Amino acid sequence: MSTRDAAKIGFLKRESTGKGVCRKLRVEGVIPAVFYGPEYKDSVVGTVGEKDISVVANSPNWETSMIDLEMPDGRVEMALLRDVQRHVISRKILHVDLYQLVKGHKVKVAIPIRVVNKDICAGVKMGGVLEQPVRDVEIVVLPREIPMEIVLDAAKMGMGSEVFLRDLELPESAELLSSPDEIVLLVTRPKSVTDTPKEESGEENTEVEVVGKGKRKEEE
C-alpha cells in the first residue's frame, strides 16, 4: 500500500464564466476549476495554478492523490480530483473538478492495483501465465487513509498461486465494496497439446472427422 503527503494547491474564486474567459485564464497560467462536496451543495467556481495542479493531474494515480486546497478565506479543504478535461491533441489541462473530503466521513474511491516483479515470478519461470483479472479495488475509506495504489509482489507466486481481494493490505478504516473472494492475481498453467480433448483425435471418431472435412475446409 502506497501513500504520500497531500499536495498544497491554492484556489481562487472567480465571478466571470464562459469559454472566452476560460481561454484567457489559461493563457495567464491558471486553470478554470469547480469545487463541490458535502458542505458545498452549490459548487464554487474558481481557478487553480496550472503548474500546481499539473503535478497531481499528470501523476499516474491522480484520482487517489490527496490535495490540501487553500481557500481564499484561509481555510484548507481536503480534496480529490474527480475530473480532468484535456485538449484532444495537446493534452493540456483545460478544466478540473475538485471534490471536498470531510474529516471523519468516509469516501468511495477506486484504488489502482500495481503488480511488481512480474519478470521474476516463480510460477512464470516454471512456464505459467501471470494473469491480473482485477485492475483496481473499490473501497470506502477515511480521507487521510486513502492509498494512492496497492502494490502486489509477484516474485514468490508459484504455479497455481492466487491472490484474492481479502488478501490485499488495506487501511484500517477501509471497507471492501466487492466480494472478498474475487481473484485479483493468479498464475495459471498454460494449455498444452496433451490437453486436447480425446474426441478430436481417437480412432472411434474417424468417421466423424471424414464427414466434417469438406465443411471445415470451406470455413477456412
Q: What is the band of 215 on the pLDDT scale with cuts at 50, 70, 90?
A: very low
pLDDT in tens, 131-175: 999 999 999 999 999 999 999 999 999 999 999 999 999 999 999
Q: Across the chain, what does the average pLDDT equal?
A: 87
Residue with the larger pLDDT of the pair 26 and 1: 26
Cα angle for residues 11, 12, 17 (degrees, 5° grid)? 120
CATH number of the domain located at residue range(s) 7-102 in this protein = 2.40.240.10
Strand, helix or coil for residue 130: strand
Q: Lowest-pLDDT range, 21-35, 54-68, 185-199?
A: 185-199
Q: What is the band of 20 on the pLDDT scale with cuts at 50, 70, 90?
A: confident
Q: What is the pLDDT of residue 190?
A: 83
Percent of the chain residues topping a pLDDT of 90: 75
Sketch the domain layout of the chain as residue ranges: 7-102, 108-192
pLDDT in tens, 6-19: 899 999 999 877 88
Q: What is the pLDDT of residue 198?
A: 53
User: What is the topology classification, in CATH, of domain 108-192?
Assistant: RNA Polymerase Alpha Subunit; Chain A, domain 2 (2.170.120)
Q: What is the band of 196 on the pLDDT scale with cuts at 50, 70, 90?
A: low
Give alpha helix (H) positions in the chain: 19-27, 50-57, 122-125, 206-219
Instruction: Answer yes or no: is pLDDT of 47 > 70.
Output: yes
> What single letter denotes the amino acid at residue 180?
P
Strand, helix or coil for residue 1: coil
pLDDT in tens, 71-82: 999 999 999 999
Percent of the chain residues topping a pLDDT of 70: 85
Residue with the larger pLDDT of the pair 217 and 83: 83
Beta strands in the chain (DSSP E): 7-13, 30-37, 40-49, 67-70, 76-86, 93-101, 107-116, 129-131, 136-141, 150-153, 162-164, 175-176, 183-188
Mean pLDDT of the region 185-201: 68
